[in-house]
Amino acid sequence: MRWALRRRFDIFSSLAKLRAAIKSRHIKQIDFKFTDLFGRWHHITVPPSRVNEKLFTNGVGFDGSNFAGMSAVESGDLALVPELDTGYFDPFRTEPAISFICRIVEADSKKPFSRDPRSIALTAESYLRKTGIADRSMWGPEFEYYVFDEVRVKNSNKTCSVEIVPGEGLRKDTFGLWTFSGYHGIPPEDTTVDIRDETVTLLEEAGIKTLYHHHEVGGHGQVEIEVDFGPLARMGDISMMVKHFARMTAHKHGKTATFMPKPLYNEPGTGMHFHQFLLKKGTNVFYRKGGYADLSPLAHHYIAGLLRHAPSLLAFTNPSTNSYKRLVPGFEAPVNCFFSLANRSAAIRIPKYATDPGLKRMEFRPPDATCNTYIAMAAQLMAGIDGIRKKLDPAKEGFGPFDVNVFEMSLKERAKIKPLPGSFAEALRELDKDHAYLLEGGVFTESMIRDWIRLKREKEIMPVRNRPHPLEIQMYLDC
């Protein structure tokens, strides 16, 4: 199978088509969406009367100093430049609207802003081409999330509580039995199928090809949507859209959709596994018939690079304190640095069902959706490229393959397998020590990485560390 790559999107391939759509669809609003450093979406809206070539060249100015880690107050002026071929009819606005995804540029020079997540993704793709290794990287993240009826949170210096009310696993049916759906569960136990139907229909109408959706393992409303493979930067766009569409559709039905890695204790966590492979002249260079799992030597080098740098990678792919409540033994969560064929306890799994040469790939399983998908994918690609350039051998590095249940191995054998970080603080320390591979080609900058580490420690790790936990009160109040 050779990949004939089409344009990312073609609803608005020219300003003429955009103007025609504005007129025929009676569009009242043009929305510009952009991603901050830590992966949150924001927007600004302009009237259709402003649509001209200058708008799509110079963009719209905004103050970047309002977003942590973006720019200082004294140099806060930035601009949003919409990408014409990312446009879609926004289904969630009351007035007819078209949304575009933007790059962030310097306000005066219009040069790419070094901390714009989308620009980082585009620079990583450019660097891959310059190495000659491949022309394009292809990505397929899995979108797992929970849908809850209600979430109540209280936080003060005297109060700390959370109550999650799921739509499944609490009510009884007419026969007095608990309704509790699970992996690929079916209605009436699967109570969210109509919400998922609506979500994927809206995604398809917005130009995103979905593969399927289903109920996941978590019995209290865990679900999954999968989309078709796409190039790195475009898949970053799609990831932002999928999360937004899932949350907005759930909100429309009076529910809350959350991509939080571990919202429920002792229930399955929510990951964002990244399937990935490389193309050169339309051919998948990860495939080689006869090798382990039909993988090429280049694919083995790529895997070794990912696993060697995995401890530091997790600072970008699992960038929250909650991430490491998911990365615990059990629940199919990967906690060790090794790869395997079809083994879901491995950090890297080679899907056994992917037998088509054009789809031969690997799946990096630790990440979750608290990541900034543009940055997380760019970092993974840089780690894989580093492995290829250094011709790293996963077997010699101690990364397997191990096609066994590692939890049934002897303690002596298990001790040879390197563990992944057990906390966000540990992952940030690893990133502090190991990030030279990210700086190649100017994809990441030293100052951005330093600020990422500093801000994550100050704004996330320390507030959680300093706050007493309700379970601590229960365990130690009588001491």
Active site residues: 63, 142, 144, 216, 224, 273, 344, 363, 365
| Separation between Cα atoms, residue 441 and residue 157, nearest integer Å | 47
Side chain identity, residue 188: P
Give the three-class secondary structure for 72.
Answer: coil
Give the three-class secondary structure for 138.
Answer: strand
Instruction: Name the H helices within 168-225.
Output: 193-205
Give the three-class secondary structure for 323.
Answer: helix
Q: Which helix or strand (DSSP H or E) is residue 166 part of?
A: strand 160-166
Q: Are 43 and 100 in contact (CB under 8 A)?
A: no
Per DSSP (E only), the strands in 47-156 are 60-63, 77-82, 88-89, 97-106, 136-155
Helix 373-389 crosses helix 310-317 at what angle (to 10 degrees)? 160
Residue 113: phi and psi, rounded to 5, are -80, 125
DSSP type of residue 441: G
DSSP type of residue 209: P
| Separation between Cα atoms, residue 158 and residue 155, nearest integer Å | 8
Lookup result for tokens 């580093």: 386
Lookup result for tokens 């109040």: 477
| Separation between Cα atoms, residue 284 and residue 230, nearest integer Å | 13
Per DSSP, the residues of 267-306 read: S------EEEEEEETTEETTB-TTSGGGB-HHHHHHHHHH
The candidate with the shortest Cα–Cα distance to 348, out of 400, 393, 392, 386, is 400
Per DSSP (E only), the strands in 281-378 are 283-284, 339-341, 348-350, 362-364
